[in-house]
Amino acid sequence: MEYEQKYTVVLRGQQFVLTQSQIEFDSPNYFSACFLGDFREAQTRRLELYRNPDIFKIIYEYLCGYEVLPLSDQALPSMSLETGLINLRADALFYQLDNLVKACDDFTKKPANPRSFKVVGFTAWNTRILVDTVPHGISVNKLMGVCPQNQCWATIVTEDVVNRIESLQFPQSFSDFHGLHIVAAVEDYTRRATGNYTKDGWKLIGWYMETIPCQPNTGCDTGILIVLEDLRAQK
């Protein structure tokens, strides 16, 4: 196997070793100019910069010929995917990687798949789940006793409709012992109402409950709305 010259790029103390084939990938570029031109780095084969090393890890994979878009959730843990894409393009521009800049631009222009949601409704007759005397105002025991199978209704809605559901409660809003118990009870209720929703590609987004005014000679009823997001639509 023919020997390939190697070059060292140092970013904020982190070293990356590039081969000549990586440097020549998407060239002419910043690296080919420094290492293969008349600059001092052509003799030292070492380049020190103060760009973001985490972003360069993605560029390193790109220079190996790999597809790097779309970015994974774990690619840049210190920033959002949107910010990560913006910063990746900025560094691609700095390193004069024209094809990567174009790939970032093309990816940004792609229309995002609209988010799709399912609202599952159920009326728990003669059951008062919202009780002021229990933590967070939700009776876990009453909720666990509800039997929603085959009695629910469901409809597919857009994100705009979900945003207009007043007082929607979210799982991430609960973090104490009683709150997490409530989240577990809602998840259990959702499985009883819809089946194994996570396996089917749905995610629990939130829920809304309201006490329906009592009628003469009957107990109070509770209306329950469960909001699920279709994760399959995002693929």
Task: Determine the Cα–Cα distance for residues 162 and 205; give it in Å rounded to an integer.
Answer: 10
- pLDDT reported for residue 4: 82
Residues 132-136 have a mean pLDDT of: 91
User: How confident is the model over 31-86, as pLDDT tens digits?
Assistant: 999 999 888 988 999 999 999 999 999 999 999 999 999 998 788 888 888 899 99
Clarify whether residues 122 and 103 are in a common domain. Answer: no
Task: From 109, 142, 164, give the residue that closes a domain.
Answer: 109
Residues 144-173 have a mean pLDDT of: 91
- pLDDT reported for residue 2: 59
Clarify whether residues 143 and 73 are in a common domain. Answer: no
State both tokens at 134.
């229990």
Residue 104 lies in a domain: yes
- pLDDT reported for residue 111: 66
Clarify whether residues 18 and 80 are in a common domain. Answer: yes
Residue 146 lies in a domain: yes
Residue 1 lies in a domain: no
- pLDDT reported for residue 78: 83
- pLDDT reported for residue 232: 84
Residues 179-197 have a mean pLDDT of: 96
Task: Determine the Cα–Cα distance for residues 110 and 134; give it in Å rounded to an integer.
Answer: 48
- pLDDT reported for residue 1: 46
Predicted model pTM: 0.55
Residues 134-147 have a mean pLDDT of: 93
Task: Determine the Cα–Cα distance for residues 102 and 91; give it in Å rounded to an integer.
Answer: 13
The two most distant CA atoms of the chain are separated, in Å, by 93
Q: Where are the alpha helices (DSSP H) in the chain?
A: 20-24, 30-36, 41-44, 53-63, 81-94, 98-109, 140-144, 159-163, 177-194
Task: From 74, 92, 109, give the residue that closes a domain.
Answer: 109
The percent of residues in the chain predicted with pLDDT above 70, rounded, is: 95
Clarify whether residues 80 and 126 are in a common domain. Answer: no
Residue that wins the pLDDT comparison between 219 and 210: 210
Range of the domain at 76: 6-109
Clarify whether residues 158 and 69 are in a common domain. Answer: no
Clarify whether residues 43 and 98 are in a common domain. Answer: yes
- pLDDT reported for residue 63: 97
Mean pLDDT score of the chain: 91
Clarify whether residues 105 and 182 are in a common domain. Answer: no
- pLDDT reported for residue 233: 67
- pLDDT reported for residue 81: 85
Residues 128-140 have a mean pLDDT of: 92
Q: Residue 207 corresponds to which amino acid?
A: W
Q: Is the pLDDT of residue 212 over 60?
A: yes
pLDDT winner (highest mean) among 68-82, 169-183, 208-222: 169-183
Residue that wins the pLDDT comparison between 50 and 108: 50
